[in-house]
Structure 1
Amino acid sequence: MKKGLIFLNLITLFSTTQAQQHAEQDHSKYVPPTDEKVQAKLSQWQDVKFGLLMHWGTYSQWGIVESWSLCPEDEGWCVRRGPHSHDWFEYKKAYENLQTTFNPTRFNPEKWAQAAKSAGMKYVVFTTKHHDGFCMFDTKQTDYKITSSKSPFASNPRSNVTKEILAAFRQQGFMTGTYFSKPDWNVDSYWWPYFPPKDRNSSYDPKKYPELWKKFQDFTYNQIEELMTGYGSVDILWLDGGWVRPYSTIDPNISWQKAIPYEQDIDMARIAKMARRHQPGLLVVDRTVTGEFENYVTPEQQIPDQYMPIPWESCMTMGSSWSYVPKENFKSARQLVHTLVDIVAKGGNLLLNIAPGPDGEWHDEAYTRLAEIGTWMDMNSESIYETRPLAPYRRGKWAYTQKGKSTYATYLAETGESLPGRLKPEGVDLPAGARVKLLGNEKNLAVKDGFIEVPARAIQTAGHQYAYVFRIDS
């Protein structure tokens, strides 16, 4: 993941962001999977709607952005801070030395899994390796890992945290996913020390040094094969670092892709074939690289303007950061519920990020938010799970989904707003004789002249909710 730009003229920022969003939401080249097992898995994933993403690594000790401070680019999200920030080489050495002090002794994945389940989440994606190359699993390809003897947590019986996390969530019935960064800023076959890196890309041209690039391809292949063979059933291989891609796939309309200097083909066909041999039906998500290995698309920190008729997922932060910061600015439960409803109405899934700290725990407020979301989901989840979008999808304060012959009309209430006594769903005509119920209230509501009539007793019983869901059956 990366941070957004911050020090730009607001008008320029708005126009640039809008143009980028439209480019990233143009998925006319989406390639549907042909493998029946992948199709079945994708359908299952589209039914569960709500997942948990976790960014976690040694960077949590400094409370800084994940990996990006290592990147020698003059961007707001790459700013270095601290006593070593004046010299990139010293900084990189100090950063990589965090391995020797990372000791998350409060690590308890069962607690996370229970909290996520209570919130209504049904799948998890965990960062097994981010761009910095530090492995949160017991790889045999490098010693830069949490299970190395250099790491104090290695002596803990649960040191292979990826294995523990996937097992804990799988036990709660979750679909499981492994986030994996294609670029690796620690390994010499990507950032070759002969050429100091100038940016996020490999420090050499792979076409000029094919033997070195082949070494990196094999390193990547071997690490992914470890994840596909030693960690139980895996449903999703979620690949980040979209600049590692065939040069022919670059979209010149997207600024960061236009800056990719050369071919960095990791050979996804070889990787996907191997991964699905071990994990039949595996969803492969080669983010931003449109084609057969992007089984669903992943707009980041944004919700598409409108319904998209392909499989998609918004990955978003519960707070302001992907990685742990000591004082996080968490979004309200109302905002998070509205986000989920909006995304599902437009045909997508929400993958919500929570970042564990250096001790292996979440902020207390993260648990509170999940509990608050769970309270709403306990009453209204039938309008979320296994639904499909229904035109007009979103209109004003209303969002629409359908399941079977039932239509769900969700009224997104403002802060402190009580349920109105008379409502007209925008963009939808209520059929004559329609049976309308407010979820949580078993009595049918009257419909007059296209308006839903809600009696005072029902309003009082409903209380203040983030959103009110009406089930309409004809």
Structure 2
Amino acid sequence: MKSRIKLILSVCCFAAGTLSYAQGDIMPENEKTPGDTYIGPKDKAVKENLAKWQDYKFGVLIHMGLYSQLGICESWGLAPEDWVTRNGYDDYDSFASDYRGARFSLNPVNLDAEKWAKMFKSAGAKYMIFTSKHHDGFCMYDSKFTDFKITNPNLPNAKNPKPDVLKNVLDASRKEGLSVGIYFSKPDWTSQDFWWKYYPPKDRNPNYDIKAHPERWQNFVKYTQNQLDELTTNYGKVDILWLDGGWVRPSDPKQAGKKGRQNLDIDMKLISETARKKQPGLIVVDRWVPGEYEDYLTPERKVLEKPIPVPWESCVTLGNDWGWVPNDKYKSGKEVIQLLTGIVAKGGNLLLGVGPDGKGDFEPKIQQALAEVGKWLDVNGDAIYATKPIAPYSEGNLYYTSKGEKSIFGIYLPQPNEKEIPAEIVIKNNLKGKVNVALLASKQKLSYKNVNWGISVAIPKALRAELAKQAGVVIKVTAK
């Protein structure tokens, strides 16, 4: 098996909607605005928690599982679809056997959840979401409904002092004051009630006709409901239930009769109501399934072109993959800061995807990037946290946020080729009367003159070169 495992490292994964992020990606102008299908929550407690979440602006999403031990792109190698490549393998079954066999070597002996939580908090993150189970079905928690889990007594991790990884990470994150969420995959590619061994899997969907075998599908529905119930019952206060695998959903009446369409209904109404009895105000995110169980939208590896009047979050990886992959190329702290700024200026949150290796360690480059983000937010966070978008949102390298009716922030993002930032920066605003203008980080006051639709702020010559080295230069304009 060892030789096979070495080869598995080169599995290539570009799932639909998960192509590598490039700075400036936007939703195409001809694509229907995702907010058009949004139905907001009616529950008062959910509305209140959603409003708090919108003020957080920055969170982290941790992918960890069998793929962390193998150093490959999550569990997508198990999907028998023609876009997946499995370099080093001549047949699917050998790959699948080696992939699932990684549970016998996964042993995160270096996982220090307290250290993780401090790192996330120092980075300026306000919430953390952890993978309880990816599409492969391997549970990173002590599920009582399967043996395919990291706490299985026959696996090496069971001997660790805190074998329930999910519980360990959630508890430590809460202790540091972070809001916590649980990622859960609705499909399960190891469950016999989703991929029945009687048939070979053919794509990401159930490999049998659920109409012909309704009892088997109902067994899977009950299994899913049971797992979600234990996650929202046995793991303390949970703020967000983040459900992935949007192809598991009720069939669209408009698609009725189309070949291959199955009604993969797991009864989200029951799941949500049951969870909220244990977790009042729980935010439920049934990703990519428009309706009342998608409390906020989650464009993946994209930034919306324009603000939309609904809660949304761009989930973007720090590297090229969600989990840990050897020699991955990571964004710098500066790139993350500028990405965060662009998202917040349009009213969204950034959920940054990072992953530890199979031993529970984060690469130094990840730690460095997070530290850089935290250092910048320490002095400029007032322009990010609890802000609202304000027109014109952005112009060139200048981005806008606001707080209340008296404060506007102009965030100038220097580009790599800039040796100095401009001598004058025009900040459009409709504040009435005289204003105070200052650099947020240093509180140094700046002079200005009134121009059409705003003010032109003078940047002292002595500061321009030094400011050009920063990820973002924040000018705070406050009405007197």
User: What is the TM-score of this pair, normalised by structure 1?
Assistant: 0.91
**The residue matched to 1:97 in structure 2 has which SS?**
helix
Give the gaps of 5 or more residues in structure 2: 1-12
Task: Please state if 1:139 is matched with 2:139.
Answer: no
Counterpart AA for 1:186: T
* Identity over aligned pairs, percent: 44
For residue 293 of structure 1, what is the aligned residue in structure 2?
Answer: 293
Quick check: 1:119–1:370 contact (8 Å CA) kept in 2?
A: yes
How far does residue 458 in structure 1 lie from its aligned partner after superposition? Answer: 4.7
Task: Please state if 1:192 is matched with 2:203.
Answer: no
**The residue matched to 2:371 in structure 1 has which SS?**
helix
Task: Please state if 1:467 is matched with 2:475.
Answer: no
C-alpha deviations, 1:337-391, integer Å up to 9, x for none?
Answer: 1100000010100000111101110111100001111111111000011111111
Give the gaps of 5 or more residues in structure 1: 9-13, 253-257
Q: 2:131 aligns with which of 127, 131, 134?
A: 127
Counterpart AA for 1:453: A
Task: Please state if 1:51 is matched with 2:62.
Answer: no
How far does residue 462 in structure 1 lie from its aligned partner after superposition? Answer: 4.8
How far does residue 430 in structure 1 lie from its aligned partner after superposition? Answer: 6.9
Higher mean displacement: 103-112 or 431-440: 431-440
C-alpha deviations, 1:103-159, integer Å up to 9, x for none?
Answer: 111111111111111110010011100000000000010000000023101111211
Higher mean displacement: 112-121 or 86-95: 86-95
Higher mean displacement: 95-104 or 458-467: 458-467
Shift in alpha-carbon separation, 1:357–1:465, aligned structure 2, 3 A? same
For residue 30 of structure 1, what is the aligned residue in structure 2?
Answer: 38
User: For the residues of structure 2 that align with 1:98 and 1:365, how far apart are their CA atoms?
Assistant: 25
For residue 10 of structure 2, what is the aligned residue in structure 1?
Answer: none
User: For the residues of structure 2 that align with 1:458 and 1:413, how far apart are their CA atoms?
Assistant: 13
Quick check: 2:28–2:305 contact (8 Å CA) kept in 1?
A: no
Quick check: 2:448–2:456 contact (8 Å CA) kept in 1?
A: yes
Higher mean displacement: 366-375 or 441-450: 441-450
Counterpart AA for 2:86: R
For residue 4 of structure 2, what is the aligned residue in structure 1?
Answer: none
Shift in alpha-carbon separation, 1:259–1:418, aligned structure 2, 3 A? farther
Quick check: 1:25–1:299 contact (8 Å CA) kept in 2?
A: no
User: For the residues of structure 2 that align with 1:251 and 1:350, how far apart are their CA atoms?
Assistant: 33
Quick check: 1:51–1:123 contact (8 Å CA) kept in 2?
A: yes
Task: Please state if 1:154 is matched with 2:158.
Answer: yes
**The residue matched to 1:201 in structure 2 has which SS?**
coil
How far does residue 443 in structure 1 lie from its aligned partner after superposition? Answer: 3.6
Quick check: 1:249–1:290 contact (8 Å CA) kept in 2?
A: no
C-alpha deviations, 1:311-356, integer Å up to 9, x for none?
Answer: 0000000011112111110012221111000000101000001111
For residue 79 of structure 1, what is the aligned residue in structure 2?
Answer: 85
Counterpart AA for 1:30: Y
Size of the aligned set, in residue pairs, is 455
For residue 438 of structure 1, what is the aligned residue in structure 2?
Answer: 439
For residue 9 of structure 2, what is the aligned residue in structure 1?
Answer: none
Higher mean displacement: 440-449 or 283-292: 440-449
**The residue matched to 2:87 in structure 1 has which SS?**
coil
Counterparts of 1:27-426 in structure 2, within 5 Å, are 27-75=35-83, 78-82=84-88, 85-248=89-252, 261-404=261-404, 405-415=406-416, 416-425=418-427
C-alpha deviations, 1:386-445, integer Å up to 9, x for none?
Answer: 1111111122111111111211111111125433332213x5467552221111233431
**The residue matched to 1:327 in structure 2 has which SS?**
coil
Quick check: 2:414–2:468 contact (8 Å CA) kept in 1?
A: no
User: For the residues of structure 1 that align with 2:347 and 2:231, how far apart are their CA atoms?
Assistant: 30
Quick check: 1:124–1:174 contact (8 Å CA) kept in 2?
A: yes
Higher mean displacement: 321-330 or 453-462: 453-462
**The residue matched to 2:359 in structure 1 has which SS?**
coil
Quick check: 1:243–1:260 contact (8 Å CA) kept in 2?
A: no
How far does residue 467 in structure 1 lie from its aligned partner after superposition? Answer: 0.8
Shift in alpha-carbon separation, 1:24–1:350, aligned structure 2, 3 A? farther
Shift in alpha-carbon separation, 1:236–1:167, aligned structure 2, 3 A? same
Counterpart AA for 1:28: D
Quick check: 1:338–1:412 contact (8 Å CA) kept in 2?
A: yes
User: For the residues of structure 2 that align with 1:300 and 1:455, how far apart are their CA atoms?
Assistant: 40
Counterpart AA for 2:98: A
User: For the residues of structure 2 that align with 1:122 and 1:172, how far apart are their CA atoms?
Assistant: 10
Counterpart AA for 2:340: L
C-alpha deviations, 1:198-244, integer Å up to 9, x for none?
Answer: 00001112222111111001100110111111111000000000000
For residue 11 of structure 1, what is the aligned residue in structure 2?
Answer: none
C-alpha deviations, 1:31-90, integer Å up to 9, x for none?
Answer: 110100000110110011100001111112221111100010001xx22233xx222222
Quick check: 2:345–2:389 contact (8 Å CA) kept in 1?
A: yes
**The residue matched to 1:452 in structure 2 has which SS?**
strand
C-alpha deviations, 1:169-207, integer Å up to 9, x for none?
Answer: 101111100000000000100001122110000111222
User: For the residues of structure 2 that align with 1:65 and 1:31, how far apart are their CA atoms?
Assistant: 33
**The residue matched to 2:197 in structure 1 has which SS?**
coil
User: For the residues of structure 1 that align with 2:412 and 2:179, how far apart are their CA atoms?
Assistant: 30
**The residue matched to 1:99 in structure 2 has which SS?**
helix
